[in-house]
Amino acid sequence: MAEQAFLWLAPMFLSLLQPDELIFVWAALCLEKSIIVVSDNKLLLSSAILTLQTLLSPFKWCLVSIPILPMSLVDLLDAPIPIIVGVPQEIEVEIPCLVNPKGHEETLQDKVVIRINSIGSSVGQKVLKIEKNGIEIPLPDFNSLAQLLTPLLASLQNSSRTKNMRNSNFLADILLQPNEEQQQALLQIQSMFQTSL
């Protein structure tokens, strides 16, 4: 079941990451750091949050996880417990620590913020940005893992559907259905992280 969920959820989010970014996010998850994903696209937002949970397989995220945060639960961002949460860009403007991080360092301490911009993205424009907020994660030498991940992530990024996703405003209409090569790449990525645990 987890394998099928990963194949459905992961391509859209993982196609936006570089190997070092993926390793950092995975390590932050393993260390139970809070992860806040902000996006203008709710499909991509929920895909990212659910992919983050499946990256921990065979373990499970047992803490708070909300794929799309409603305005009524914004106070959860101040919770002293680790959370994985997706924040739609339209409510981001109501959250001072996300709009203007300077002056809110204490609130964002130990939280990774991943910003994904799908609207108006053009060739060469960075679609994803990771804000580490002073988090230093002591990683072992993952150079070999990064080298192994590079071609696998490239196969996701080189899909013609993924290129259209990054270069158009129709992201919400595209649900990636990975081809055979991409499915194999996704399963290898999942296996690599499982064996790295």
* φ, ψ at 136 (rounded to 5°): -110, 115
3-class secondary structure, 86: strand
Task: In whole angstroms, give the CA distance from residue 156 to residue 14.
Answer: 8
As a three-state string, the secondary structure of 26-85 is: HHHHHCCCEEEEEECCHHHHHHHHHHHHHHCCCCCCCCEEECCCCHHHHHHHHCCCCEEE
pLDDT 10s digit of each residue in the chain, 197 long? Answer: 456 666 777 777 888 888 888 888 988 898 899 999 999 888 888 889 989 988 888 888 899 999 999 999 988 888 889 999 999 988 887 776 676 666 656 666 778 889 888 654 444 445 778 888 777 777 666 777 888 888 888 887 765 444 444 444 434 334 456 678 777 888 888 888 777 76
Regarding pTM above 0.85, the answer is no
3-class secondary structure, 7: helix
2-171 CATH? 3.40.50
